[in-house]
């Protein structure tokens, strides 16, 4: 195998591939990128068996073949190259690949080609075209609420539902819950519901360029394949029953307060600086005002006040500062509606512009 391509384009693709390649598998080949050169075309592939990516590389094929090289090492090598073109040539007897660019030359040992699995091909039992902007925007609103705890795999996913003119995504880590319902301009020709790993959706968001109009989605029993132009990203789906999020939402609230998102977020970030070592961010409500405060022993304390339309008995509720800030950052509305019952029940943040975003956050019991 011998290929030549643009250094900058190879670098761009390797940055995406290296994130997908495994860092934990006992199979060395899974930490690599497979380069396939055949029929005058070049394709780059990476997988950790859960998530896979295939990317075409523009360039010339002097001789066909396949090879697997360490993904992160190849990325760092290409990152340091100074010449605009790079050539990769397999030296079978030496079991390495010669990387030549300008006056720089490397010899990189190959990984076992036979250990690299065949990747899923595009398609599925259900296939549909999804508006890219709407899909990526919806991912951005909810994906941070998905759990990172691999011992609870169901919660590491995002429940994606698409039918007719509506796209809905739901994510929860059991401490907070994000729901975003997005209205689509054109009805979808097919419908599906699947628990997609949040990591796969976040990688998809990185692949989509601003000019991308459509994402092709193929869903089968245990797999989803996304196509963005000529790039294919596939992921296993998560088995099991996703929590019934509607049962988690309270039917009624004692207080519903419309607050400027920017003001609320600015003060929350400011005061959260002193909510360290698991200290809560305290929200104290009194007639016409909200006081945010935080105190960390041996560090210090802080408080700030903003006007809110609160009426009734004073109340104080505590939240995880990181989760509260994340919820406010996830809305694009100018104002949010903060809905509360009492200090021991969850709070709900809703976009005031009717854009279909809501964020449920569990309180932290306060030691007065």
Q: What is the mean pLDDT of residues 19-27?
A: 94
- Quick one: 337 and 355 in the same domain? yes
Q: What is the mean pLDDT of residues 71-76?
A: 98
- Quick one: 234 and 311 in the same domain? no
Quick one: pLDDT at residue 122?
86
Quick one: pLDDT at residue 368?
66
Indicate whether 150 belongs to any domain: yes
What is the residue-wise DSSP string for 111-180? B-GGGSPPPPPS--SEEEEEEHHHHHHHHHHHGGGS---TTSGGGGEEEEEEETTEEEEEEE-SSEEEEE
- pLDDT by residue (tens digit) across 109-136? 999 999 999 999 888 899 999 999 999 9
Distance CA 244, CA 143 (A): 17
Enter the pTM of the model: 0.94
Q: For residue 255, give the CATH number of its domain.
A: 3.10.150.10
Quick one: pLDDT at residue 325?
98
Distance CA 170, CA 178 (A): 6
Distances (CA, A) of 340 to 121, 275, 317, 362: 48, 22, 9, 11
Structural domain including 316 reads 249-361
The confidence band for 43, taking pLDDT boundaries of 50, 70 and 90, is: very high
- pLDDT by residue (tens digit) across 232-272? 999 999 999 999 999 999 999 999 999 999 999 999 999 99
- Quick one: 83 and 165 in the same domain? no
Indicate whether 340 belongs to any domain: yes
- Quick one: 111 and 133 in the same domain? no
């Amino acid at each position: 195998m011998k290929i030549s391509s643009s250094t900058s384009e190879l670098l761009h693709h390797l940055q995406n591939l290296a994130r997908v390649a495994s860092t934990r598998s006992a199979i060395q080949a899974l930490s690599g990128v497979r380069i396939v050169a055949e029929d005058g075309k070049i394709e780059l592939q990476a997988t950790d068996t859960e998530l896979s990516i295939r990317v075409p590389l523009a360039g010339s094929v002097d001789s066909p073949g396949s090879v697997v090289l360490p993904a992160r090492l190849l990325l760092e090598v290409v990152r340091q190259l100074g010449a605009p073109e790079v050539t990769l040539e397999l030296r079978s007897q030496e079991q390495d690949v010669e990387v030549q660019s300008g006056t720089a030359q490397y010899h990189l040992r190959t990984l076992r080609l036979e250990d690299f699995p065949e990747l899923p091909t595009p398609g599925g039992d259900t296939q549909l075209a999804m508006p890219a902007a709407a899909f990526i925007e919806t991912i951005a609103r909810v994906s941070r609420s998905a759990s990172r705890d691999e011992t609870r795999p169901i919660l590491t996913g995002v429940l994606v539902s698409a039918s007719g003119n509506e796209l809905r995504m739901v994510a929860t880590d059991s401490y907070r819950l994000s729901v975003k319902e997005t209205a689509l301009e054109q009805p979808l020709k097919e419908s599906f519901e699947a628990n997609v790993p949040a990591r796969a959706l976040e990688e998809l968001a990185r692949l989509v360029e601003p000019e991308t109009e459509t994402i092709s989605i193929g869903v089968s029993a245990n797999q989803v394949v996304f196509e963005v132009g000529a790039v294919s990203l596939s992921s296993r789906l998560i088995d099991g029953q996703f929590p019934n999020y509607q049962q988690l939402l309270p039917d009624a609230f004692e207080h519903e307060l419309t607050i400027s998102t920017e003001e609320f977020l600015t003060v929350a970030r400011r005061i959260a600086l002193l909510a360290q070592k698991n200290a809560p961010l305290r929200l104290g409500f009194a007639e016409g005002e909200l006081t945010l405060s935080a105190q960390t022993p041996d560090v210090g304390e802080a408080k700030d006040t903003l006007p809110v339309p609160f009426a009734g008995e004073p109340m104080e509720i505590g939240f995880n500062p990181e989760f509260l800030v994340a919820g406010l950052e996830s809305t694009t509305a100018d104002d949010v509606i903060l809905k509360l019952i009492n200090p021991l029940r969850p709070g709900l943040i809703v976009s005031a512009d009717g854009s279909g975003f809501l964020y449920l956050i569990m309180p932290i019991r306060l030691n007065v």
